[in-house]
């Protein structure tokens, strides 16, 4: 099977991930006691936290694949680092410059970011996931923790993959990292560590990235791919049993309970890795032409979802400050009550999503694209 250079269904998966994350981060439905439809709606919105887990698995799958394909190529490591920097740094550091340099010069810095200013160094060096979790600083940009995890991954993972060189060796490393990450979460939780430490520290979340990487290695070894194809029914039933039992065992994958933060996180990563592998396989089949893929795969290639995936990075950076700075004030002025009101809460999530998309579209085409064009020099 020929592997296409671009996997469009993964853009759709990226789009789904950002929609889930925004729903989780900006939902205002919560009331002290929830029952019936309100409780179900709150569960549906809050479970969107797993979108971050999906992002991690997706990053592991894509980055590991890129690195394996670059092994042995001239300047492979340099090109990878340069291309990642051109994709990630402009918007991230642009946001920090705006918040901590330009707005203070204009006398327009919001109070929440004034409190963050003495601790901003941890944001500039991509270490906020460690410091925020330990209570160092007010954490006024709380969603940046996952970007810190990914940046640390981008620095460490290439060295490991380029040292090991073969998919088989990388697969062993991915399995070991996954086990170590799970054990770290269990140890920290049992030691009564702050839940944010278990949730945000890089070593505790590396299993998602590593399992995505494991799926990428399996997709690149023909004998493994053939074995998976020959046993796909048994594997599908085993995966369904694993996900169902874990869903029940963890009580629907809440974000911060022992069962969910230990085996629950790993099971979710396994499920997402399998989904990405399957989506990539169908992309490869679709690229050959004349092959009709399943409805769920065609849905991932929907132009709207693909577009959301394209601008998902900007939407991620923008949505939380947008919500934190404006949602409460705007809703109060409009006299809109969201607590306990399903329709109003969902309309608020939709509004933040649409505005975040529009802002991400603008930043991409007016700002980021000028840096992205430089990637051609590092092909």
Q: What was the pLDDT predicted at 288?
A: 82
Q: What was the pLDDT predicted at 158?
A: 95
The answer to whether position 3 is within a domain reads no
The answer to whether position 253 is within a domain reads yes
Local mean pLDDT, 10-residue blocks, the chain (379 residues): 81 98 94 82 92 98 95 90 96 98 96 95 97 94 97 95 95 97 96 94 97 97 95 96 97 94 97 97 85 90 96 98 95 92 95 98 97 92
Q: What was the pLDDT predicted at 72?
A: 85
Structure tokens of 213?
A: 């990487």
* DSSP codes joined into one string, 45-81: HHGGGHHHHHHHHHHHHHHHHHHHHHTTSTTHHHHHH
The answer to whether position 206 is within a domain reads yes
The count of domains in the chain is 1
Q: Which structural domain range is residue 161 located in? A: 8-378
The answer to whether position 2 is within a domain reads no
Does an H or E element contain 177, and which?
helix 167-190
Residues 144/128, Cβ–Cβ less than 8 Å: yes
Task: Return all residues near 259 (Cβ < 8 A) that are at least 6 apart.
Answer: 249, 250, 251
* Alpha carbon 307 to chain centroid, angstroms: 17
Neighbours of 40 (CB within 10 A): 12
* DSSP codes joined into one string, 90-147: HHHHHHHHIIIIIHHHTT---HHHHHHGGGTHHHHTT-HHHHHHTT-S--SSTTHHHH
What is the C-alpha to C-alpha distance for residues 252 and 275, in angstroms, rounded to an integer?
19
What is the C-alpha to C-alpha distance for residues 106 and 175, in angstroms, rounded to an integer?
50
The answer to whether position 1 is within a domain reads no
Residues 283/61, Cβ–Cβ less than 8 Å: no
The answer to whether position 53 is within a domain reads yes
Task: Return all residues near 118 (Cβ < 8 A) that are at least 6 apart.
Answer: 137
Q: What was the pLDDT predicted at 185?
A: 97
Structure tokens of 168?
A: 């088989």
Task: Return all residues near 51 (Cβ < 8 A) that are at least 6 apart.
Answer: 16, 17, 18, 19, 20, 21, 24
Q: What was the pLDDT predicted at 293?
A: 86
Q: What was the pLDDT predicted at 2?
A: 66
Task: Return all residues near 284 (Cβ < 8 A) that are at least 6 apart.
Answer: 1, 2, 3, 4
């Amino acid at each position: 099977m020929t592997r296409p250079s671009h996997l469009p269904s993964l853009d759709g998966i990226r789009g789904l991930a950002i929609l889930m994350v925004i729903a989780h981060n900006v939902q205002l439905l919560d009331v002290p006691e929830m029952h019936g439809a309100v409780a179900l709606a709150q569960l549906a919105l809050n479970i969107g936290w797993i979108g971050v887990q999906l992002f991690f698995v997706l990053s592991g799958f894509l980055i590991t694949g890129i690195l394996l394909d670059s092994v042995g190529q001239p300047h492979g490591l340099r090109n990878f680092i340069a291309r990642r920097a051109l994709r990630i740094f402009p918007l991230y550091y642009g946001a920090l410059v705006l918040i901590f340099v330009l707005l203070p010069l204009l006398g327009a810095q919001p109070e929440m970011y004034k409190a963050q200013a003495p601790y901003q160094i941890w944001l500039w060096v991509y270490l906020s996931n460690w410091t925020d979790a330990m209570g160092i600083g007010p954490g006024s940009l709380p969603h940046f923790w996952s970007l810190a995890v990914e940046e640390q991954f981008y620095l460490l993972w290439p060295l490991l993959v380029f040292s090991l060189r073969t998919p088989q060796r990388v697969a062993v490393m991915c399995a070991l990292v996954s086990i170590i990450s799970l054990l770290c979460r269990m140890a920290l939780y049992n030691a009564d560590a702050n839940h944010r430490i278990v949730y945000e520290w890089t070593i505790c979340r590396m299993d998602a990235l590593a399992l995505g990487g494991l799926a990428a290695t399996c997709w690149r070894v023909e004998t493994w791919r053939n074995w998976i194809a020959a046993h796909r029914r048994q594997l599908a039933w085993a995966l369904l049993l694993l996900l169902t039992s874990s869903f029940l065992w963890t009580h629907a994958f809440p974000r911060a309970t022992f069962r969910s933060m230990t085996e629950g996180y790993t099971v979710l990563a396994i499920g997402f890795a399998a989904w990405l592998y399957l989506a990539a396989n169908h992309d490869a089949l679709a690229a050959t032409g004349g092959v009709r893929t399943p409805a769920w795969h065609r849905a991932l290639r929907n132009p709207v979802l693909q577009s959301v995936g394209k601008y998902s990075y900007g939407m991620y950076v923008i949505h939380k400050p947008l919500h934190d700075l404006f949602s409460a004030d705007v809703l109060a002025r409009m006299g809109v009550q969201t607590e306990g009101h399903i329709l109003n809460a969902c309309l608020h999530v939709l509004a933040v999503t649409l505005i975040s998309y529009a802002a991400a579209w603008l930043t991409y085409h007016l700002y980021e694209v000028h840096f992205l064009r430089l990637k051609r020099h590092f092909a």
